[in-house]
Amino acid sequence: MKVIGLTGSIGMGKSFVANIFRENNIEVFDADAEIHAILENDINAQEEIKKYFPESIDKTGSVNRGKLGRIVFTNEEKLKILESILHPIVKQRGDDFYQKSLNSGIDIIVQDIPLLFETGANKTCHFVIVVKAPGEIQDERVLARENLTKEQYEQIKKIQLQSEEKEKLADYVIDSNDSKENIEKIVQNIIEDIKVKQI
């Protein structure tokens, strides 16, 4: 089974590209979605977060992602604590997804991971795709989000490898500022290319 790592800095259009893979019947593991699910449903993780970040808990006892983000994206030490709680769980879920896909006889899967290079997850991938966009488009997309301040955005960019560096490490680069039709063709061509490549 061939594993594609899909990554890109915040606001680059990675999720858009991931959805095109899904439209082409390729299974996608979404690390961001798993983090959201962990924060909502994983009792052990929630208890750890309550212990280290009590101010992020709302009146119902749930983790408020907005509050948590404001805490960790302005404090590198606290961000590392949160990552130490979440990353092992996400990795285990990714491993489970891989094993389930392998057992199902699937030929290709996509691991959609924002910090693919930063966490070393690229080492488990046979091919890596980096999604890019012009800086002004990236800024426009990110700052349009209601739950993210400019300060948080700048901090996120600091912890992520620069897009240019990611592109140098990629097997394929997709510009999400292209038309949807062109991106669909590019993704289809990448899938066909990977199908015939040896690993």
pLDDT in 10s for each residue of the chain, 199 residues: 999 999 999 999 999 999 999 999 999 999 999 999 999 999 999 999 999 999 999 988 899 998 998 899 888 899 999 999 999 999 999 999 999 999 999 999 999 999 999 999 999 999 999 999 999 999 999 988 767 788 888 888 888 899 999 999 999 999 999 999 999 999 999 999 999 999 8
Q: Note whether 8 and 15 are within 8 A (CB).
A: no
User: Phi and psi at residue 126, in whole multiples of 5°?
Assistant: -85, -30
| pLDDT given for residue 163 in this prediction | 93
User: Phi and psi at residue 104, in whole multiples of 5°?
Assistant: -85, -5
Length of the chain counted residue by residue: 199
Alpha helices in the chain (DSSP H): 14-23, 31-41, 43-52, 65-72, 76-103, 135-143, 150-159, 163-169, 180-196
| pLDDT given for residue 54 in this prediction | 95
Give the Cα separation of 187 and 75 in Å (integer): 37
Domain containing 138 equals: 2-196
Query: How many independent structural domains does the chain possess?
Result: 1
| pLDDT given for residue 155 in this prediction | 85
Tell me the pTM.
Answer: 0.92
CATH number at residue 136: 3.40.50.300
| pLDDT given for residue 146 in this prediction | 61
